[in-house]
Amino acid sequence: WEIKPALLYQAYVPTVSRDIIYGWARGSVGGLLIRAIAPTSFLGRSVTFGITIWAACIISSPCNEWRGFTLQPKDKALPFKEYF
């Protein structure tokens, strides 16, 4: 397995975009749920945290697909319309 330095940044933009969107979604959804539910128990806070993480993953998931599209091997790459 050979590491090619030129390819290390091939998926940089989709990966950074995904991480930024995830962070934004986690902060936004978390704040919204804390205000709406106002959990007081450990269990309530834990469930709220779990829902927050789940929602942030769903919101940022299109960037995972974009990243996968970007990382396709050139010899087997599907066109945009087929991939999505």
Q: What type of residue is 9?
A: Y
| pLDDT greater at residue 79 or residue 42 | 42
Alpha carbon distances (Å) from 37 to 1, 30, 51: 50, 10, 11
Dump pLDDT digits (tens) for 7-45. 778 888 999 999 999 999 999 999 999 999 999 999 999
Q: What's the pLDDT score for residue 51?
A: 96
Residue 55's pLDDT is 97
The contacts of residue 47 (CB under 8 Å, 6+ apart) are: 39
For residue 84, what are the contacts with CB-CB under 8 A and spacing of at least 6?
65, 69
Give the DSSP letter of residue 25. Answer: H
Per DSSP, 27 falls in state H
Residue at 69: amino acid letter: F
Q: What mean pLDDT is reported for the chain? A: 91
> Do 45 and 39 contact (CB within 8 A), yes or no?
yes
pTM: 0.80
